[in-house]
Chains A and B, each alone.
Chain A
Amino acid sequence: AQTVTQSQPEMSVQEAETVTLSCTYDTSENNYYLFWYKQPPSRQMILVIRQEAYKQQNATENRFSVNFQKAAKSFSLKISDSQLGDTAMYFCAFGRQTSYDKVIFGPGTSLSVIP
Chain B
Amino acid sequence: SQTIHQWPATLVQPVGSPLSLECTVEGTSNPNLYWYRQAAGRGLQLLFYSVGIGQISSEVPQNLSASRPQDRQFILSSKKLLLSDSGFYLCAWGLGSGGPGTQYFGPGTRLLVL
A residues near B (Cβ < 8 Å) are 32-33, 35, 37, 42-47, 50, 52, 91, 95, 97-103, 105-108
Report yes or no: A43 in contact with B97, Cβ–Cβ below 8 A. Answer: no
Judge if B61 is at the interface, Cβ distance under 8 Å.
no
Q: What CA separation (Å) do A88 and B61 show in the bound complex?
A: 31
Contacts of B101 in A (CB 8 A): 32-33, 50, 52, 95, 97, 101, 103
Judge if B14 is at the interface, Cβ distance under 8 Å.
no
Report yes or no: B102 in contact with A50, Cβ–Cβ below 8 A. Answer: yes
The prevalent SS among residues of B at the interface is: strand
Contacts of B95 in A (CB 8 A): 101
Q: What CA separation (Å) do A46 and B88 show in the bound complex?
A: 15
Contacts of A100 in B (CB 8 A): 32, 49, 51, 57, 96
Contacts of B32 in A (CB 8 A): 100-101
Judge if B23 is at the interface, Cβ distance under 8 Å.
no
Other-chain residue from A35, A47, A97, A106 in contact with B43 (beta carbon distance below 8 A): A106
Report yes or no: B51 in contact with A99, Cβ–Cβ below 8 A. Answer: yes
Binary contact readout B27-44 vs A (1 if CB under 8 angstroms, 0 otherwise) = 000001000001000111
Report yes or no: A105 in contact with B43, Cβ–Cβ below 8 A. Answer: yes
Closest residue of chain A to B45, judged by CB?
Answer: A105
